[in-house]
């Protein structure tokens, strides 16, 4: 994961003003090994900066994600953020649903994906969710329902309705 200094450098290199609040945000993600919700970040920042709005926190998280400083993952309970991996090579992750330990996938599954010939891919992301050996062995897994599938329907190739 990126360090606090690397996160601050990433902000600065992309023209963001480095305020005390952004330094605190960088420190939080640089030192926290796991994933944080926007609410987690808001509660942490609110203890240090009274009057800080949730919208401001969320807007900064989105900007840092768009700059490539933070990773964003959609868990069953919602969107979470963490500092981007410090590895510069292209890779994907397997994520434990219990402890949120993250393991790199050594190859890109996109290379073996049989996509339609008339579709131009501009970006992709693979995340595999399950349970790590430690959580399985410790019997600490809390029963959760399976994650909803988020892909085009198998029959017609049309995207599933989001209504």
DSSP string computed for 54-110: HHHHHHHHHHHHHTTSEEEEEETTEEEEEEPPS--S--EEEEETTT--EEEESS-GG
Residue 124 among known ligand-binding residues: yes
Residue 90 among known ligand-binding residues: yes
Residue 108 among known ligand-binding residues: no
Given this model, what pLDDT does residue 156 score? 41
Q: Within a domain: residue 68?
A: yes
Q: Could you tell me if 79 and 43 lie in one domain?
A: yes
Q: Within a domain: residue 158?
A: no
Q: Could you tell me if 35 and 60 lie in one domain?
A: yes
pTM: 0.75
Please say if the pLDDT value at position 145 is more than 50: no
Distance CA 11, CA 50 (A): 23
Please say if the pLDDT value at position 71 is more than 80: yes
Confidence band for 140, pLDDT divided at 50, 70 and 90: confident
Residue 93 among known ligand-binding residues: no
Residues 119 and 157: beta-carbon distance below 8 Å: no
Domain housing 66: 4-83
Share of the chain above pLDDT 70, in %: 86
How many C-alpha atoms does 28 have within 13 Å on its Cβ side? 24
Report residue 31 as tokens: 């030192």
Q: Could you tell me if 48 and 96 lie in one domain?
A: no
């Amino acid at each position: 994961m990126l360090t606090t200094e690397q996160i601050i450098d990433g902000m600065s290199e992309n023209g963001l003003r480095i305020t005390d609040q952004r330094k605190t945000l960088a420190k939080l993600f640089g030192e926290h090994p796991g994933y944080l919700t926007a609410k987690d970040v808001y509660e942490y920042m609110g203890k240090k900066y009274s009057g800080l709005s949730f919208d401001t926190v969320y807007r900064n998280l989105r900007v840092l994600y768009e700059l490539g400083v933070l990773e964003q993952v959609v868990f069953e309970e919602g969107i979470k953020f963490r500092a981007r991996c410090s590895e510069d090579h292209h890779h994907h992750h397997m994520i434990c649903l219990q402890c949120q330990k993250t393991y790199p996938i050594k190859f890109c599954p996109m290379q073996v994906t049989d996509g339609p010939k008339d579709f131009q891919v501009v970006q992709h992301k693979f995340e595999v969710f399950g349970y790590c050996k430690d959580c399985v062995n410790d019997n600490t897994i809390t029963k959760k329902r399976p994650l909803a599938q988020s892909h085009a329907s198998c029959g017609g190739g049309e995207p599933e309705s989001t209504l």
